[in-house]
Amino acid sequence: MSYLNFIGGEWVPALSGATFENRNPADLTDLIGLFPDGGEADVAAAVETVSNAWPDWAAKGPEARADVLYKAADIISSRIDAIAAELTREEGKTLTEARNETSRIAANFRFYAGEALRLKGESFPMPEGQIALTLRSPVGVVAVITPWNFPLSMAARKIAPALAAGNGVIFKPSEMTPLMGQRLVEVLLDAGLPKGLLALIHGRGPTVGKAITSTPGIDALTFTGSYAVGMQIARALTTDTRCQLEMGGKNATIVLGDADLDRAADIIRRGAFGLTGQACTGTSRVLVARSHYDALVEKLTGAAEGITIGAGTRAGVTMGPLATEAQLDKVNAYLGIAKQEGGRITTGGLPEASAGLSNGFFVRPTVIADVPTDSRLLRDEIFAPVVAVRAIEDVDEAIEIADDTEYGLAVSVVSNDMASVLKIAQKTQHGVVKVNSPTTGVALNAPFGGFKHSSNQSAKEQGGANVMDFYSRIKSVYLGG
């Protein structure tokens, strides 16, 4: 099946006529569809139409904007099973994981529908007969560039607040999961969104993404993806374009000496191997008290071996494939690095040829013990179900190793020792700290973002007023005098 871009209220091919294929990562013989491979001309056309459309949308007022978002949430809720099945086919995650993500979109739209009604200004003391106050106005045209690992929820948590604040949106989904971008736009149109307000442009990062950063008329850009690409975007944008970048993590779970090891193993299993390890907050390092080291490695190895891999649509499967061949090659490379550095692979690696998984990008959940402190496995983002385990002597060493990476997104602590938990929470250079729960999973009403190379620190994602500050501008108005 062939799909189209959506520009100016019409479904249209790329102006160049170029297309690209998208295939199921669990079965490469399964062609999902042909998608337009957009470029500079498509982006220019989208900027023009969205620029013309957003002032009318802003003028409709918050109740009208909230109404569309509430309707979109209801439509998504009615299509969860259908969209989840397509998400599993396109991205590879299990049906349970896909349903959870699809449900999350509806929650995002409902939350930001409420935020549309809560946008407010302030008033300030002035001499008698005068008043100073602030008003909010939309930023204008917001470009949204999203990754393949959460193609629905990442898009929803960017597009929903942008629309709630009265902006227009140019949306570039990942070329790895274009169908999910298509479905999300269809939901918004069915909910009554004005047709010229939202543009969907399929295509590759080096073409569409680059065009978005160089085309005049884009007022704000929000991106989630790799640090390398995020920095390319930041360098390309002019100073008058707002920029929000979320760019990955190398997340650790710290298991202290008082921890229950069955509980710790389950927390790590969910954080490291859920979603095939392809979450920016996924656990990729375990720092465990030396007294518990051998026992935890054994329990974690057993937990990994209890996971069933395969196509996410199959009954009983609890972990799907990696999303791309490049990811599979990367895992292979790091398994080689682990052996070179003296790491001990207790379980995992590529499945045997007899497993019947040769048509997809499959890897078994992998545990690597005895990892030296200077190992790349403790610093580099692998983005796969691969976890490196290292013994620690005390809380101070745990903090030191956890922070010894260029990323600073999420860390979790398994302990009931409140003094140690608070010490880690206060000292660690990570934007998200979880206690007795996996590094994955965050609340949509709480701010989200990392430190160091995980974020450009301009604005947090998710949450309430802090998010709307990115998608709106504040002007000061003086009355009287």
Burial of residue 458 (CB within 10 Å: 0-12, 13-18, 19+) is middle
Q: Which CATH class name applies to 251-435?
A: alpha beta
**461 annotated active-site:** no
Listed in sequence order, the residues at least 6 apart from 35 whose beta carbon sits closer than 8 Å to its beta carbon are: 2, 3, 19, 20, 21, 22, 175, 178, 179, 202
| Inter-residue contact 401 to 251 (CB < 8 Å) | no
Buried b (16+ CB within 10 A) or exposed e, 84-108: bbbbbbbbbbbbebbbbbbbbbbbb
User: What six digits make up the tokens of 276?
Assistant: 């095939």
| Inter-residue contact 210 to 182 (CB < 8 Å) | no
Measured CA angle at 345 (ends 339, 349), to 5 deg: 95
Per CATH, the number for 5-247+456-480 is: 3.40.605.10
Which pLDDT does position 30 carry in this prediction?
97
Dihedral Cα 252, 257, 259, 262, nearest 10 deg: 90
**What is the Cα 425 distance to its own chain's centre?**
23
Number of H helices, E strands in the chain: 14, 21
- CA distance linking residue 68 with residue 190, whole number of Å: 9
Residue 2's closest CA among 26, 22, 25, 27? 22
Burial of residue 479 (CB within 10 Å: 0-12, 13-18, 19+) is exposed
Tens of pLDDT along the chain (481 residues) come to 899 999 999 999 999 999 999 999 999 999 999 999 999 999 999 999 999 999 999 999 999 999 999 999 999 999 999 999 999 999 999 999 999 999 999 999 999 999 999 999 999 999 998 999 999 999 999 999 999 999 999 999 999 999 999 999 999 999 999 999 999 999 999 999 998 999 999 999 999 999 999 999 999 999 999 999 999 999 998 878 999 999 999 999 999 999 999 999 999 999 999 999 999 999 999 999 999 999 999 999 999 999 999 999 999 999 999 999 999 999 999 999 999 999 999 999 988 765 778 899 999 999 999 999 999 999 999 999 999 999 999 999 999 999 999 999 999 999 999 999 999 999 999 999 999 999 999 999 999 999 999 999 888 898 877 889 999 999 999 999 7
| Inter-residue contact 450 to 246 (CB < 8 Å) | yes
> Kind of pairing, strands 123-124 and 130-138?
antiparallel
Catalytic residue among 101, 115, 246, 461: 246
Listed in sequence order, the residues at least 6 apart from 214 whose beta carbon sits closer than 8 Å to its beta carbon are: 40, 236
Residues in the chain: 481
DSSP assignment of 117-186: HH----EE--STTEEEEEEEEE--EEEEE--SSSTTHHHHHHHHHHHHTT-EEEEE--TTSHHHHHHHHH
**What is the Cα 310 distance to its own chain's centre?**
23
Listed in sequence order, the residues at least 6 apart from 239 whose beta carbon sits closer than 8 Å to its beta carbon are: none
Which pLDDT does position 352 carry in this prediction?
78
H or E element that contains 408: strand 407-408
SS percent in the chain: helix, strand, coil, step 5: 40, 25, 35
User: What six digits make up the tokens of 391?
Assistant: 């013994």
| Inter-residue contact 54 to 170 (CB < 8 Å) | no
- CA distance linking residue 363 with residue 315, whole number of Å: 18
Domains of the chain: which residue ranges?
5-247+456-480, 251-435
Listed in sequence order, the residues at least 6 apart from 314 whose beta carbon sits closer than 8 Å to its beta carbon are: none
- CA distance linking residue 147 with residue 457, whole number of Å: 19
Q: Do domains 5-247+456-480 and 251-435 have the same CATH topology?
A: no
User: What six digits make up the tokens of 473?
Assistant: 């501008």
Sign of CA dihedral 95, 100, 101, 102: positive
**What is the Cα 243 distance to its own chain's centre?**
16
**What is the Cα 97 distance to its own chain's centre?**
14
Residue 474's closest CA among 216, 144, 132? 132
Which pLDDT does position 458 carry in this prediction?
85
H or E element that contains 22: strand 19-24
Listed in sequence order, the residues at least 6 apart from 369 whose beta carbon sits closer than 8 Å to its beta carbon are: 297, 343, 344, 346, 389
